Amino acid sequence: MIKRLSDPQLLDVLFPFHFILDEGLAFVQTGPSLKKLLPDPISFEHDFKLVRPGLGIQYSFESISSYTDQVFILKPKSVDAVSMIKGQFVPVEEPKQLLFVGSPWIMHEDSFAKAGLKIRDFAIHDSLIDLLQHLRVQQMTVEDMNQVNKMLTRKNEELVSLNKEMTAARHDLELKNSELQKINSELDRFVYSISHDLRSPLLSIKGMLQLIPIKEKTTDGTNKLLKMAEKSVNRLDQTIQEILDYSRNSRLELKITEFSIIQMIEGIFADLKYSTEENVDCTLEISGSTKIKSDKYRLETLLKNIIGNAVKYRNREVNNAWVKVLVKNDKTNCTISVADNGIGISEKTLPKIFDMFYRGSNAVSGTGLGLYICKEIIHRLGGTMDVESKAGKGSVFSISFPLSN
């Protein structure tokens, strides 16, 4: 109980939501901020509902005075935005009055603005300001998070659709790939069977040409024509043979056996000697084991091509044409280089020689398939192939491939 309220201004500053009731519970005075909420107060009972303390309390001076040690929660009946005002009643002795001090109970910034209140309507010491500040920060954080969340949701949607597109594209690709594989193997089979079918009648023609007695060949101009026919047949046979080599390499699994590399290369030398009129000095040098484990058929096809090229593209203007084959064998790897002092390859031509059907010169016959097949074969053997060459000087073709154990 306080004796007397001396300075109403002090109350206005410290408790802007205060009010003073007389013994009949009529408003004697209302704080400046409360005035904003209740511009025309009529009476305590008319304007406020008592939310707390609950049961037992009545709208009478005595009843309220007996609860001065309790927190009061009042609901302004005519203001929707501010749901509650929380505070305490203090009895005054002279004149007999009840002083209420407190402030609105605000849980959200919106209701604060809706009630037409501003920060400065609160006393500086009012902790509600901190709460409002806190709410504002929280609100901002929530808004930021909502923003981020929205962005993430959007990105997620984008990713989901991208993923769908990629899955569809992959599916499409897989389909195309398997179609392509099917077409490829059909094409391989087709090439193989056609080459086979073409080769049998060709071999018959070849045989028949050889059966024509020399005597008959020498009469009139037929001799020349027969020689040309034989040459053409041989060329056609070689082309078919190459197509078969290509097809075999792509169709058949690797077949690893142990064999003598010396025997293989000397066999190639002998075949070439048989088919070349001029003399080319072919030599073989080997370091390491003479036996190797690899795919014999593929390696022989490859070496026939590059040693054959070294002989074929010899320099016909010199009389000491040579081909040197060097084999280096360690336990895991085999390197074979084929060097010649032939016509060599120009810088411009060099990058194209492994292309399918590419021919650098028409001076000698060929299909342009040889090195393409070599490249495919070395790929199947898991090795590499290199070339160094200078026009007019000669070439070195080297292959290197892993050995099976």
342's contact among Mg ion, ligand ATP, none, with CB below 5 to 8 A by partner kind, is ligand ATP
Q: Is 167 in the site for ligand ATP (CB under 6 A)?
A: no
What part of residues 290-309 is at the interface with ligand ATP (CB under 6 A)?
A: 305, 309
CB nearer to ligand ATP: give 267 or 368. 368
CB nearer to ligand ATP: give 163 or 365. 365
When binding is defined by CB under 6 A, the residue of 74, 261, 343, 385 that contacts ligand ATP is: 343
Q: Is 242 in the site for ligand ATP (CB under 6 A)?
A: yes
104's contact among ligand ATP, Mg ion, none, with CB below 5 to 8 A by partner kind, is none
Residue 309 CB, shortest distance to Mg ion, in Å, is: 4
Q: Is 323 in the site for ligand ATP (CB under 6 A)?
A: no
Residue 397 CB, shortest distance to Mg ion, in Å, is: 11
When binding is defined by CB under 6 A, the residue of 358, 380, 388, 403 that contacts ligand ATP is: 358
CB nearer to Mg ion: give 247 or 309. 309
CB nearer to ligand ATP: give 117 or 369. 369
Whole-angstrom Cα distance, residue 320 to residue 339? 14
Residues that bind Mg ion (CB under 5 A): 309, 370
Q: Is 5 in the site for ligand ATP (CB under 6 A)?
A: no
Q: Is 385 in the site for ligand ATP (CB under 6 A)?
A: no
Residue 231 CB, shortest distance to ligand ATP, in Å, is: 14
Residue in 375, 376, 388 with CA at minimum distance from that of residue 339: 388
Residue 352 CB, shortest distance to ligand ATP, in Å, is: 8
Q: If you search the block for the tokens 């935005």, which residue do you land on? A: 81
Residue 310 CB, shortest distance to Mg ion, in Å, is: 10
Cβ-proximal residues to 219 (8 Å cutoff; 6+ apart), any chain: none
Whole-angstrom Cα distance, residue 273 to residue 276? 5
CB nearer to Mg ion: give 104 or 370. 370
3-state secondary structure the chain: CECCCCCHHHHHHHCCCCEEECCCCCEEEECHHHHHHCCCCCCHHHHEEEEECCCCCCCCHHHHHCCCCCCEEEEECCCCCCCEEEEEEEEECCCCEEEEEEEEECCCHHHHHHCCCCHHHCCCCCHHHHHHHHHHHHHHHHHHHHHHHHHHHHHHHHHHHHHHHHHHHHHHHHHHHHHHHHHHHHHHHHHHHHHHHHHHHHHHHHHHHHHCCHHHHHCCCHHHHHHHHHHHHHHHHHHHHHHHHHHHHHHCCCCEEEEEHHHHHHHHHHHHHHHCCCCCEEEEEEECCCEEEEEHHHHHHHHHHHHHHHHHCCCCCCCCCEEEEEEEECCCEEEEEEEECCCCCCCCCHHHCCCCCCCCCCCCCCCCCHHHHHHHHHHHCCCEEEEEEECCCEEEEEEEEECCC
358's contact among ligand ATP, Mg ion, none, with CB below 5 to 8 A by partner kind, is ligand ATP
395's contact among ligand ATP, Mg ion, none, with CB below 5 to 8 A by partner kind, is ligand ATP
Residue 238 CB, shortest distance to Mg ion, in Å, is: 9
DSSP result, 133-171: HHHHHHHHHHHHHHHHHHHHHHHHHHHHHHHHHHHHHHH
Q: If you search the block for the tokens 């408003």, which residue do you land on? A: 27
Contact of 202 with 240, CB cutoff 8 Å: yes
Residue 394 CB, shortest distance to ligand ATP, in Å, is: 7
Cis amide bond preceding 95, omega within 30: yes
Q: Is 329 in the site for ligand ATP (CB under 6 A)?
A: no
Q: Which stretch binds ligand ATP (CB under 6 A): 107-115, 248-256, 284-292, 337-345?
A: 337-345
Q: Is 310 in the site for ligand ATP (CB under 6 A)?
A: yes
Q: Is 282 in the site for ligand ATP (CB under 6 A)?
A: no
CB nearer to Mg ion: give 176 or 379. 379
Q: Is 34 in the site for ligand ATP (CB under 6 A)?
A: no
Q: Is 106 in the site for ligand ATP (CB under 6 A)?
A: no
Residue 305 CB, shortest distance to ligand ATP, in Å, is: 6
Q: Is 102 in the site for ligand ATP (CB under 6 A)?
A: no
Q: Is 336 in the site for ligand ATP (CB under 6 A)?
A: no
Q: Which residues bind ligand ATP (CB under 6 A)?
A: 242, 305, 309-310, 313, 340, 342-345, 353, 358-361, 366-372, 395
